[in-house]
Chains A and B, each alone.
Chain A
């Protein structure tokens, strides 16, 4: 296997892009990334997209995006793994370059959530649940997360306010980023009074569906050092899966796939969790942020919430997370989220994060989940 590096990054602001469709968003991010790398040609395009069929009545994004972005007919297709589609596309690009099959791979994650609204969007998003055993009974991803959260509160004897710190931190960081959907800060104490979506998950707890596209360009580390001043190496890349339906997990309060993919990525990179300078995790719900910290080895079981109490997760803390707002404040453009995480990690490692900079960041961990951890994809990025 060859060493792989990121040589170009691009992203659109995350939000409600009423005037841009899937193809335009993807092309904007791609052109940003090509300009960043100083390239005009790539050999393959991997598109991460979760809900194109359900939100936008559009599949076959490989050909659509490659053509619209003017890429000259490369190998191109979509990779889908629910909300982990972006990281799955990154993993595919990584494998293509590492194997020697492809010299330069372009990975774009794109989602157009606002092509549907209201109950129709909730139904569309439900295509990533277990259709027979969850969705058919009126479940939603938020309802399932809510049941996880209620059980977590019950087992560990906690109040809802224990999770407030995650959202306050995400919004504090999102407020500093021009790419974030939500740039407002949250006041302590407001969390527990926010309107309920599916109790105990409220409006200040769950990440918003959003539109957006992000892109990265990958090549071998050997070529990268001649092409750009600051190539970012991908030193770990791993995927693991768990039961799709929450009801079929051996232990509901433990993200087994997240644990296995993180530790596989650490082993490949030759690091331990304490070497990580920042962690872009999948904070779609605060309870998932807590469980992700536990799964990746940063907290004992039942104690992930404590990190949000101590200031440890802030930009100048021991383990900064959601450094550009995370899913909660940057927004969650489903199939694009995993590529946003990679772009944000590169900005941090290249010391181009501006007001969101984590001082001296050398090793970044990024983890993207499909569903509530049915798929978990972890990458280690280093400079």
Chain B
């Protein structure tokens, strides 16, 4: 059908983030959903990326307390396994950026 109206813009742009940001907030889950129960307790965070957007991800490689504002970087880790013989699901987690020695 011919139309003179402008189409609604819906364009998502591909963008590569630096993978670094800071902890906006976090929690330690004691009650995990099925598929994550073997990992509990684990730390989940809202990470504010340096470019602005926020992502929800686990914090990993922790050997001390976490605080709001901690600098973190993205790493690839196993998220869960789909059953005993199932597919291993990989995804992003974040770890603290340690000050250089």
Contact = CB atoms under 8 A, between A and B. Distances in A.
Interface of A: 119-120, 122-123, 125-126, 133-140, 142-144, 146-148, 150-151, 154, 196-201, 245-248, 252
Contacts of A139: 44, 56
Interface bin, chain B: 20 to 34
B27 A134 contact: no
Nearest to B36: A138
B26 A147 contact: yes
Contact of B33 (A122, A146, A252): A122
Contact of A123 (B26, B33, B89): B33
B45 A147 contact: yes
Top 5 nearest A-B pairs (CB, nearest first) are A146-B27, A147-B25, A123-B34, A122-B33, A247-B54
A114 B83 CA distance: 23
Interface of B: 24-37, 39, 42, 44-46, 53-58, 68, 79-80, 89, 91, 93
Contacts of A150: 25-27, 68
27 contacts: A119-B33, A122-B33, A123-B33, A123-B35, A135-B33, A136-B89, A137-B93, A138-B29, A138-B32, A138-B58, A138-B79, A140-B32, A140-B33, A143-B29, A144-B56, A146-B27, A147-B24, A147-B27, A147-B45, A150-B26, A151-B68, A199-B28, A201-B27, A246-B56, A247-B46, A252-B24, A252-B46
Main SS class of interface, A: helix
Contact of B34 (A122, A144, A198, A201): A122
Contacts of A120: 34
B56 A137 contact: yes
